[in-house]
Amino acid sequence: MKVAPVPLVSIIIPTYEQEELAVQAAQSALSQDYPSFEVIVVDDASPRARYAEIRAITDSRLRFVRRERNVGRTENYRRSLRDLARGEWAMILDGDDYLTDAGYVSAAIAAAAADPGIVMVAARTETRTSDRSLVSDHPGDCVVPGLELLGSLPDTRYFFQHLAVLYRRPQAVALDFYRSATISSDWESLYRLASRGNVRFLDRVVGVWRIHGGNASGSRERQAMIDNLDIWKPIYAEAAAQGLPAAVARQCCTAMIRYMMRQHIPRVARSWADLRDYLVALRRRHPSALMGMAHGPTLVRLALALIGYYGKR
């Protein structure tokens, strides 16, 4: 009886000035019990970090690549996935995060093998800050059609955690993953891919996402947050092209923009002028979404902003 070949998995670790943290990321990736994987650490031309400890690792599954010039966070993702990875499946593990479940890749590939329509496998993460930790929401062990998932947002059970998503690399490359230089470049890519098939969820915590001052997702730069809202139109345009009813696509697109607007308020409300400028920009770019923000939780956030609550924290 002929045994099916085990697909190669690429674990990509993009990093920039994260010498000590990236060692932990690489070691956690190399601890996976899956029999066929590669770990690619890609330094984006750090001016100070030399990654001597990673270079000293002799494991043949590990490759270290140093870019000659800095290309930026999302372009490093994009080029690494397209040009350096060789796997049929891939995942991105940022240099400041790490895996905690040595069986994650094995479980994900086994789950995907049961359904050729699965384009990605998603698990849970622990989000850790300096003073607290939180485990991500999740729908449990199940398979969800991607269009159904997109039609359910902003249900937080379906929010992808980048380091805990394993996806089919050829399809990702064909969709030009990480083409968007936004804070949520991962979501812009992953949700477009989700519309092309099924998503298998695994109810297991597989890694730690560190939240600190250097995270792109923690940016307080007003324009970056405004630009980040633009990811939803191409996501739902793709979903509509794949069969999601146009009315549902429009409704969910607006709902996700509103959801992210609400999350932005504490970040932009360091002063009344910042909040005012943010709302003026939203009125120009997303007027329909802004009009629907007049409800309880959002008004409370705005009121707290107006009295300076967030600026005192």
Task: Please report, for the chain, the start and end positions of each structural domain, with discontinuous segments joined by +.
Answer: 9-217, 219-312
Is the CB of residue 38 less than 8 Å from the CB of residue 64? no
Say what the pTM is.
0.89
Buried b / exposed e across 4-41, counting CB within 10 Å, b at 16+?
A: eeebbbbbbbbbbbbbebbbbbbbbbbebebeebbbbb
Count of alpha carbons within 13 angstroms of residue 279, beta-carbon side: 18
Helix (H, G, I), strand (E, B) or coil at 23: helix
CATH code for the domain defined by 9-217:
3.90.550.10
Tell me the pLDDT of the chain (313 aa) as tens digits: 555 689 999 999 999 999 999 999 999 999 999 999 999 999 999 999 899 999 999 999 999 999 999 999 999 999 999 999 999 999 999 999 999 999 999 999 999 999 999 999 999 999 988 788 999 999 999 999 999 999 999 999 999 999 999 999 999 999 999 999 999 999 999 999 999 999 999 999 999 998 865 545 444 577 888 889 999 999 999 999 999 999 999 999 999 998 888 887 777 766 677 777 777 877 777 777 666 665 556 656 656 655 555 555 5
Return the beta strands (E) in the chain as ranges.
Answer: 9-15, 37-43, 62-66, 89-92, 98-99, 118-128, 133-135, 142-145, 165-168, 198-210
